[in-house]
């Protein structure tokens, strides 16, 4: 699967987001090394701390499906934003937990442009198990 297809998968899932408060849907498409794509959406809650981001939804679904640290190949994050939509800091930490620092992270915007970064570029000086 190429990056355009992965981004399109993230864009298509956005309409399934549960966003009654912010009206800001986000979709994520997580590519596994075996070629499987697991999608996630943000799921809001009136108690905002209970809200879950699209990226974490995808990762937690993958883990619940039996995938493990190191099984992840790339992730795309999509939202209808003027600038490229990056993962929040909590999601970046989840990425650091499960993925290689060189894993591609594809960000997109409302114009469907794609910005490609590595996880290391997105999260320099990540806190990892090596820091424990």
What is the predicted pLDDT for the residue at 129? 75
What is the predicted pLDDT for the residue at 132? 65
Catalytic member of 4, 8, 44, 55: 55
Q: Which domains are delineated in the chain?
A: 3-131 (3.40.140.10)
Give buried/exposed letters for 42-71 (b at 16+ CB in 10 A, else e).
Answer: bbbeeeeeebbbbbbbbbeebeeeebeeeb
47-86 pLDDT per residue, tens: 988 999 999 999 999 999 999 999 999 999 999 999 999 9
% of the chain exceeding 90 in pLDDT:
93
44 assigned to active site: no
11-21 pLDDT per residue, tens: 999 999 999 99
pLDDT surpasses 80 at 119: yes
């Amino acid at each position: 699967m190429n990056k355009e297809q992965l981004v399109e998968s993230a864009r298509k899932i956005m309409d399934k987001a549960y966003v009654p408060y912010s009206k800001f849907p986000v979709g994520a498409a997580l590519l596994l090394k075996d070629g499987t794509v697991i999608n996630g959406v943000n799921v809001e809650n009136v108690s905002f701390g209970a809200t879950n981001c699209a990226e974490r939804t995808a990762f937690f679904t993958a883990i619940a499906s039996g995938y493990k640290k190191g099984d992840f190949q790339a992730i795309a994050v999509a939202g209808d934003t003027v600038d490229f939509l990056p993962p929040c800091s909590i999601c970046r930490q989840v990425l650091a937990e499960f993925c290689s620092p060189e894993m591609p992270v594809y960000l997109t915007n409302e114009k469907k442009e794609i910005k490609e970064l590595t996880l290391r570029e997105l999260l320099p000086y990540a806190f990892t198990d090596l820091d424990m």
